[in-house]
Amino acid sequence: MKSGKVWLVGAGPGDAALITVKGLHVIRRADALVYDRLVCAELLAEAPDGCEMINVGKNPNHHLVPQTEINQILVDCAQRGLNVVRLKGGDPYVFGRGGEEAETLALAGIPFEVVPGISSAIGGLAYAGIPVTHRDYASGFHVITGHLRQGNEPQDWATLAKLEGTLIILMGMTQLTTICQQLVAGGKAPTTPAAVVMYASHQQQQVASGTLLTLADQVAAQGLSAPALIVIGDVVRLRDVLAFTPELLSLNAIPSLI
Ligand code: SAH
């Protein structure tokens, strides 16, 4: 049987309407849709009738489906001749192991495409009123994981403290206190503005802000937890001026391309 094709699609940070035109188009034509926990229901509802919906965010025992199993699901579906959409939060190649999925497909000789998405690291912050760069405050940004694979060394926060520009940390919430302390120990000013954005661009978005010294307490007081972005740098100040309320746009209003 002729192999199907896999599209690795970025769903964007949360607000369903932040999907790309191409991403929405391939979802609407999918035979199988393999999706993660953070992908919103409104996007899943765009799959056609009869599309196989495969949740790999959690298996029936409420455990994460191991990455090797996800890779195998993609290969199996394609080898059954299906057109598969692998829908991932944010951008498929910003953490989240999209690169490994694409490598598996390449090695198995399965045709695939990547449909980039808006990463939470950039678009999620925008929804919280925080521009990742600004001529007056940050001439660059760094996107860092707070969580490393088992057996790996933890991040060298003392070295990262020396970087100029905005620091954006994903998967860092369990380490928040340590991260803030170690950045200060590494030389960042304790008064550096810092914020946590939980469920960025989702309806339940919440933001806590302060400085490297106060952020962890502020987050605890507001009861914020993962999924969240940690952002450190002077651009956080702009939130006071740039925060906005997004208009909710229904995907039904976006016509099919074919
Ligand atoms: N590929 C994704 C990131 C995957 S790693 C992207 O480009 O956005 C998962 C981590 O991303 C989460 O632990 C959290 O730190 C962050 N994240 C993803 N979506 C988020 C959202 N809507 N709000 C806050 N953090 C988010």
Residue 62 belongs to some domain of the structure: yes
* 256 in any annotated domain: no
Q: Which of 36, 70, 201, 229 maximizes ligand 1 atoms within 8 Å of its Cβ, making it the mutation to test the pocket?
A: 229
For ligand 1, atom 24, the nearest C-alpha belongs to 228
Closest ligand 1 atom to Cα of 93: 1
168 shares a domain with 108: no
* Active-site residue, from 36, 88, 91, 188: 36
- The structural domain count of the chain equals 2
Q: What is the CATH number of the domain that holds 92?
A: 3.40.1010.10
**194 and 110: one domain?**
no
SS3 60: coil
**Residue that terminates a domain, selected from 81, 102, 118:** 118
| Residue 16 alpha carbon to ligand 1 centre in Å | 14
- Residues 10, 101: one domain? yes
pTM of the model: 0.96
Quote the tokens at residue 212.
Answer: 């490297």
Ligand 1 interacting residues, C-beta cut-off 6 A: 13-14, 38, 88-91, 94-96, 119-121, 124, 170-171, 197, 199-202, 226-229
Locate the ligand 1 atom nearest the alpha carbon of residue 198 and give its number: 24
- Determine the Cα–Cα distance for residues 25 and 225; give it in Å rounded to an integer: 33
Do the Cβ atoms of 228 and 205 come closer than 8 Å?
no
CB 190 within 8 A of CB 184: yes
Per residue of the chain (258 residues), what is the pLDDT tens digit?
899 999 999 999 999 999 999 999 999 999 999 999 889 999 999 999 999 999 998 666 667 899 999 999 999 999 999 999 999 999 999 998 999 999 999 999 999 999 999 999 999 999 999 999 999 999 999 999 998 765 677 889 999 999 999 999 999 999 999 999 999 999 999 999 999 999 999 999 999 999 999 999 999 999 999 999 999 999 999 999 999 999 988 888 777 765
Helices 176-185 and 215-222, packing angle to 10 deg: 170
CATH code of the domain in which 237 resides:
3.30.950.10
Per-residue pLDDT, 60: 60
User: Could you read off the pLDDT of 113-132 as tens digits, one per residue?
Assistant: 999 999 999 999 999 999 99
For residues 210 and 232, give the distance between their C-alpha atoms in angstroms, rounded to a whole number: 10
**Domain limit, last residue, from 118, 149, 175:** 118
128 close to 195: Cβ distance less than 8 angstroms: yes
End-of-domain residue from the set 118, 140, 167 = 118
Same domain, 37 and 113: yes
Torsion from C-alpha of 212, 14, 88, 198, nearest 10 degrees: 20
Annotation marks residue 36 as catalytic? yes
Does 229 share its domain with 156?
A: yes
Give the range of the structural domain holding residue 230, as residue numbers without chain letter.
121-242
Q: Are residues 169 and 222 in the same domain?
A: yes
Question: Is 76 in the active site?
Answer: no
What is the C-alpha to C-alpha distance for residues 19 and 5, in angstroms, rounded to an integer?
20
pLDDT recorded at residue 37? 87
pLDDT digits (tens, 9 = 90+) for 196-217: 999 999 999 999 999 999 999 9
